[in-house]
A and B are shown apart, each in its own frame.
Chain A
Amino acid sequence: MKTETRREHFQPSSMIGKLLRKLHIDIPLFLCLFLTALLSFVILYSSGGQDMGVLLRQGARVGLAFLLMTALAQVNPMQFKRYSAILFGIGIFLLLAVLIMGQIGKGAQRWLDLGFFRFQPSEMIKITTPMMVAWYLAEHHLPPRPKQVLIAGVLIILPTLLIAKQPDLGTAILVASAGAAVLFFAGLSYWFIGAIIGLIGASTPVIWHLMHDYQRDRVRTFLNPEADPLGRGYHIIQSKIAIGSGGIYGKGWLGSTQSELEFLPESSTDFIFAVYAEEFGLFGCFGLLALYMLIIARSLYIASQARDSYNRLLASSLAFTFFVYVFVNIGMVIGILPVVGVPLPLISYGGTSIVTLLSGFGILMSIHTHQKFSIA
């Protein structure tokens, strides 16, 4: 299998290319991620009020994230498989710890303060949940039997509820969809999927009842933002104004008035897409979507090339979750989804999300670059 040609046709012409290959880096994926990260600096410079400090801080985080990605790419995927259950267990334990500490202290608690940096267990669980489900399902024959689906369902719902309880609806959705994606790629029958969707639809009133007031408000606001233009609808209205006023060509870099003049809240974090759309217009949006599509396509390709069930399921789930990330964030910013706290992947200001995301891509690269050895 050393004469595997599908990868050989990609001949890096430079030393850097050779180095990257030695480091188990998938070059197309790396290029796309790197481009997106660069674009993130361009947007952050504008949305962050042209503050070099913001770029430096974010630069450090992105650098760390890329290092972590590279490190994970060195690990043989067999190791991920081996430690899936343990990592998942640690994640659940940490979530419980955070929850209990949150009840001792007051209000929402998502962090574990480790002194030199603050660690969010819900970020880790975003990866360990699909790992766990993939590991569990790969142990059995695919497609999964009802019993396995049931157990997998519990494995998914447990962290989801713990995170939703924090409360962090955005992350809960991402964790749930990461787990659900594994089930889907494992071949869960479409009948079953239809039944689940029907069940969720029927239980909507129950979910509504269990939601926090502010979460209900978000849904209400999403359904009718104009009803409360200066209150809860403010985010959505202002972001729609920002995007719409950008038009086809945009107002140009640093030309965003909505964020520049502080009309748009959270313009560097969850709502950064609005700033981007205002400055770079519809063409800019197409460009960014294309970049994301390339990343997703490459990730799915990697998944399709994987030989091992665990690797396939994990890789495809990571790829699909990345899309959910993109869709939920852009969807809420452009007003077709309720506002949930999901950052724009690889672009939004903040370290945790980019570290998790690039960790995921590190695993993807590991899966792609190690399989010849694993099979040999």
Chain B
Amino acid sequence: MDPVFSIKNDQAENFLFLRRIFAALVFIVLMSTGLVVRLIYLQIVGHEHYATLSKENSVKLTPLPPNRGIIYDRNGKILAENKPSYRLELIPEQIKDMDDTLARLQKLFDLPDEKIEQFHKQRKREKRFNSIALLPAMSDEELAKFAVSMPFFPGVEIKTHQVRHYPYDDLASHVVGYVGRINEAELKQLPMPEYEGATHIGKLGIERTYEAQLHGKTGYAEIETNVQGRSLNTINEVKPVPGANIYLSLDIDLQKTAYDALDFYNGAVVAIEVKTGGVLVFASRPGFDPNPFVVGISGEAYKALNESENQPLYNRALRGLYPPGSTIKPFVALAGLEYDKIRAPQSLYCPGYYSLPGVDHKYRDWRKGGHGSVDVVRAITESCDVYFYRLAQMLGIQRMHDFLQQFGFGEKTGIDLFGETSGLLPSPAWKQAKKKQKWYEGETLISGIGQGYHQVSPVQLARATATLANHGAVVSPYLVDKIVTPQGVLKGPEKHGEVIPMKADHLDSIFAGMINVVHSGAGTAKRIGYGIPYQIAGKTGTAQVFGIKQGAKYNESEIDFKLRDNALFIAFAPADDPKIAVAVVVEHGGHGGSVAAPIAGKVIKQYLQNLHEN
């Protein structure tokens, strides 16, 4: 190359090159400014947004279910508790040869193939580092078996969790109820932050009524997770608040006495503390074992319970409806006195039957020959039907209805259990509305002895008895005595019901008649009155399950058990200062005095003896 030309050119080139360097610098600065602007946008303008996303990314809230409150009886005996249960779990990630491990476990516990299949299904849904249950509830034997061979099963472990347990099995199943797995319908209705992570919910009884108190408050752990969801460490933990403990007014020992006394009969016993309304006994026989319901009862077992002739799932004390029979008589008698249709000394002749004028039908007395001349006291003591036919006729159905209604007949008692029935207290208005028929006078007559349309539940009958014993101050039965929360003790509101107006001497006559039922030679329940230092006031009842034809004779031993009369008994004691009121219904028990009264007698005696001893 020509050097002169080259040098000249070099200067031009140099100048061009420097300009290009400068242009490149400008370009670089401009582009870098773009980066800076974008960084400012992300890190200042968008910071809050991205910081939130970053938190959500890495922090997972895990609910910590609270321990459910414990249910005690009035003496602090546990009716519902939380027991540890052991679950065999496998962590796929830590198991080298899954098939081999499963095969050995299957052999060890003698597992059916379905369980293994179930496990495989579950495994597909879960992440490798999440544990999967193989055996949901291990027996002590299974625990021992596994404990020995544990070193040969890496990645297999036993996890403990809490399971609701009812130590008294069928004894108080209808009162305490049970918890069961939350179903989908319930899940939709549950308040969500509180029930996050919850698996069970009260389905029946106290467990259901007081679900909100028993459940407690779900806590949560903020757990840092990585992108696969593996938990790394806990950042923050809000501890769950355990559910409130609930103390029932129920006396489980007394309940056992009543339940056992019902023996092979189906029936119900309700006992109420007269002064408070606290329910001491709430027995329905047969009961059922609530424990299988907690872990999930099998289809067959449930079917067996549901279709059993004796209907163990049926809460007779709460929902059973029975004609009150003669147990209604003290109330009808009081109505007669209050409405001044009868007076205490007045007597009435009982020939053994009663007829309405101009009607052929004979309304028979249970005693074929009649009771002769009876006053109100004797009419109650001997349960003279004729006296009450006559009295009912004099009162008329409307007055009878109005008076009995004050004692809570035909109404729910408002006890703290779901599913109570209101029973039926008949009136012409009711018959017109329901049956579109007019009321007949004959129906008034049989209403006077607690037959016909009148239907009561055992708890209703017990409440009416307690109200009577309480001199007309209406008793409202309740089961929960107090709720003990970490913050303090909640007592149920002291209910001061209205007082039914009644004259003291009228009540004395009724009480006298009822005392004689138990304590006089003519009494229908005299067998239970011996050897006690106080008096029991009671009234037997025998309610027909089916109608006896005119002229036919009712013979207990000859007819089928299923067709035998229901035996009833109501009582309170001590008569001079009533503390306990009891109602007993024994299905197909026959006569109230011989079957139902002894059960009430046992309950009253045990209660008053305990009361005296303490």
Task: State the A residues within 8 Å of B (CB).
Answer: 141-143, 181, 184-185, 187, 238, 240-248, 257-258, 261-263, 277, 281-282, 285-286, 289, 293, 296-297, 300, 303-304, 309, 312, 316, 319-320, 323, 327, 330-331, 334-336
B9 close to A (CB within 8 Å): yes
Within 8 A of A (CB), among B14-49: 16-18, 20-21, 24-25, 28, 31-32, 34-36, 38-40, 42-44, 46-47, 49
- Contacting pair B228 A241 (CB below 8 A): no
- Contacting pair A184 B24 (CB below 8 A): yes
What's the minimum C-beta distance from A260 to chain B, rounded to whole angstroms? 8
A281 to B47 CA separation, bound complex (whole angstroms):
10
A289 to B12 CA separation, bound complex (whole angstroms):
34
- Contacting pair A240 B227 (CB below 8 A): no
A282 to B47 CA separation, bound complex (whole angstroms):
11
A320 to B27 CA separation, bound complex (whole angstroms):
10
- Contacting pair B44 A248 (CB below 8 A): yes
- Contacting pair A185 B24 (CB below 8 A): yes
What's the minimum C-beta distance from B248 to chain A, rounded to whole angstroms? 50
- Contacting pair A289 B57 (CB below 8 A): no
- Contacting pair B17 A336 (CB below 8 A): no
> Nearest residue in B to A308 (C-beta to C-beta)?
B10
- Contacting pair B227 A247 (CB below 8 A): no
Nearest 7 Cβ contacts at the A-B interface: A244-B50, A245-B54, A261-B226, A247-B47, A245-B51, A282-B43, A244-B42
A231 to B16 CA separation, bound complex (whole angstroms):
49
> Nearest residue in B to A336 (C-beta to C-beta)?
B38
Q: Given A289-B35, A309-B13, does the pair A316, B24 have CB atoms closer than 8 Å?
A: yes
B58 close to A (CB within 8 Å): yes
A262 to B225 CA separation, bound complex (whole angstroms):
9
B273 close to A (CB within 8 Å): no
Set of chain A residues within 8 Å of B24, measured between Cβ atoms: 181, 184-185, 300, 316, 319-320
A323 to B31 CA separation, bound complex (whole angstroms):
10
What are 27 of the A-B contact pairs (CB < 8 Å)?
A142-B17, A143-B16, A185-B21, A185-B24, A187-B16, A243-B39, A244-B43, A244-B46, A244-B47, A245-B47, A245-B50, A245-B51, A245-B53, A247-B44, A257-B57, A257-B58, A258-B57, A261-B57, A263-B227, A281-B43, A289-B32, A320-B24, A320-B28, A323-B28, A331-B35, A334-B35, A335-B38
> Nearest residue in A to B12 (C-beta to C-beta)?
A142
A257 to B225 CA separation, bound complex (whole angstroms):
10
> Nearest residue in B to A143 (C-beta to C-beta)?
B16
Set of chain B residues within 8 Å of A243, measured between Cβ atoms: 39, 42-43, 50
A187 to B42 CA separation, bound complex (whole angstroms):
38
> Nearest residue in A to B47 (C-beta to C-beta)?
A247
> Nearest residue in A to B18 (C-beta to C-beta)?
A304
- Contacting pair B43 A142 (CB below 8 A): no
B224 close to A (CB within 8 Å): yes
Q: Given A142-B13, A248-B47, A257-B57, does the pair A334, B42 have CB atoms closer than 8 Å?
A: yes
A282 to B43 CA separation, bound complex (whole angstroms):
6
Set of chain A residues within 8 Å of B47, measured between Cβ atoms: 244-248
B: contact size bracket: 35 or more
- Contacting pair B54 A334 (CB below 8 A): no
- Of B35, B36, B54, B224, the most chain A CB neighbours within 10 A belong to B54
Set of chain B residues within 8 Å of A242, measured between Cβ atoms: 50, 54
A135 to B44 CA separation, bound complex (whole angstroms):
47
What's the minimum C-beta distance from B44 to chain A, rounded to whole angstroms? 6
- Contacting pair A261 B36 (CB below 8 A): no
What's the minimum C-beta distance from B126 to chain A, rounded to whole angstroms? 19
- Contacting pair B227 A261 (CB below 8 A): yes
- Contacting pair A187 B20 (CB below 8 A): yes
A242 to B32 CA separation, bound complex (whole angstroms):
20
- Contacting pair B57 A263 (CB below 8 A): yes
B232 close to A (CB within 8 Å): yes
Apart from A257-B57, A323-B28, what 7 extra A-B contacts exist at CB < 8 Å?
Answer: A187-B13, A241-B57, A242-B50, A244-B49, A282-B43, A296-B28, A304-B17
What's the minimum C-beta distance from A92 to chain B, rounded to whole angstroms? 27
- Contacting pair B49 A316 (CB below 8 A): no
A103 to B54 CA separation, bound complex (whole angstroms):
43
- Of A141, A241, A263, A300, the most chain B CB neighbours within 10 A belong to A241
Interface of B is mostly: helix
What's the minimum C-beta distance from A239 to chain B, rounded to whole angstroms? 10
- Contacting pair A282 B44 (CB below 8 A): yes
Question: Of the candidates A143, A241, A293, A316, which one forms a contact with B50 in the assembled complex, judged by CB atoms under 8 Å apart?
Answer: A241
- Contacting pair A248 B43 (CB below 8 A): yes
A261 to B223 CA separation, bound complex (whole angstroms):
12
- Contacting pair B17 A312 (CB below 8 A): yes
What's the minimum C-beta distance from B40 to chain A, rounded to whole angstroms? 7
Q: Given A244-B47, A261-B227, does the pair A334, B20 have CB atoms closer than 8 Å?
A: no
What's the minimum C-beta distance from B435 to chain A, rounded to whole angstroms? 67
Set of chain A residues within 8 Å of B38, measured between Cβ atoms: 334-336
Contact with A along B56-87 (1 / 0, CB 8 A): 01100000000000000000000000000000
> Nearest residue in A to B45 (C-beta to C-beta)?
A244
- Contacting pair B57 A327 (CB below 8 A): no
Set of chain B residues within 8 Å of A319, measured between Cβ atoms: 24
A281 to B42 CA separation, bound complex (whole angstroms):
10
> Nearest residue in A to B17 (C-beta to C-beta)?
A312
A14 to B270 CA separation, bound complex (whole angstroms):
104
A312 to B17 CA separation, bound complex (whole angstroms):
8
> Nearest residue in B to A185 (C-beta to C-beta)?
B20
Set of chain A residues within 8 Å of B226, measured between Cβ atoms: 261-263
- Of B24, B25, B36, the most chain A CB neighbours within 10 A belong to B24
- Contacting pair B21 A316 (CB below 8 A): yes
Set of chain A residues within 8 Å of B16, measured between Cβ atoms: 142-143, 187
What's the minimum C-beta distance from B567 to chain A, rounded to whole angstroms? 71
Within 8 A of A (CB), among B504-545: none
> Nearest residue in B to A190 (C-beta to C-beta)?
B23
Set of chain A residues within 8 Å of B50, measured between Cβ atoms: 240-245
- Contacting pair B43 A261 (CB below 8 A): no
A243 to B54 CA separation, bound complex (whole angstroms):
10
- Contacting pair A330 B35 (CB below 8 A): yes
- Contacting pair B34 A336 (CB below 8 A): yes
A286 to B51 CA separation, bound complex (whole angstroms):
20
- Contacting pair A334 B232 (CB below 8 A): no
> Nearest residue in B to A289 (C-beta to C-beta)?
B32
> Nearest residue in B to A141 (C-beta to C-beta)?
B9
> Nearest residue in A to B54 (C-beta to C-beta)?
A245
Within 8 A of A (CB), among B224-248: 224-228, 232
> Nearest residue in A to B224 (C-beta to C-beta)?
A261
A285 to B44 CA separation, bound complex (whole angstroms):
13
- Contacting pair A277 B43 (CB below 8 A): yes
A245 to B42 CA separation, bound complex (whole angstroms):
8
Set of chain A residues within 8 Å of B34, measured between Cβ atoms: 336
What's the minimum C-beta distance from A114 to chain B, rounded to whole angstroms? 36
- Contacting pair B32 A300 (CB below 8 A): no
What's the minimum C-beta distance from A31 to chain B, rounded to whole angstroms? 20
Q: Given A263-B226, A263-B227, A331-B35, does the pair A241, B44 have CB atoms closer than 8 Å?
A: no
Q: Given A141-B9, A142-B16, A244-B50, does the pair A277, B58 have CB atoms closer than 8 Å?
A: no
A319 to B17 CA separation, bound complex (whole angstroms):
14
Q: Given A141-B9, A258-B57, does the pair A282, B40 have CB atoms closer than 8 Å?
A: yes
- Contacting pair A293 B32 (CB below 8 A): yes
What's the minimum C-beta distance from A243 to chain B, rounded to whole angstroms? 5
A141 to B2 CA separation, bound complex (whole angstroms):
12
What's the minimum C-beta distance from B227 to chain A, rounded to whole angstroms? 5
A225 to B265 CA separation, bound complex (whole angstroms):
74
- Contacting pair B39 A277 (CB below 8 A): yes
Set of chain B residues within 8 Å of A320, measured between Cβ atoms: 24, 28
A241 to B54 CA separation, bound complex (whole angstroms):
6
A87 to B17 CA separation, bound complex (whole angstroms):
26
> Nearest residue in B to A300 (C-beta to C-beta)?
B21
Q: Given A289-B36, A334-B38, does the pair A327, B31 have CB atoms closer than 8 Å?
A: yes
Set of chain B residues within 8 Å of A187, measured between Cβ atoms: 13, 16-17, 20
> Nearest residue in B to A244 (C-beta to C-beta)?
B50
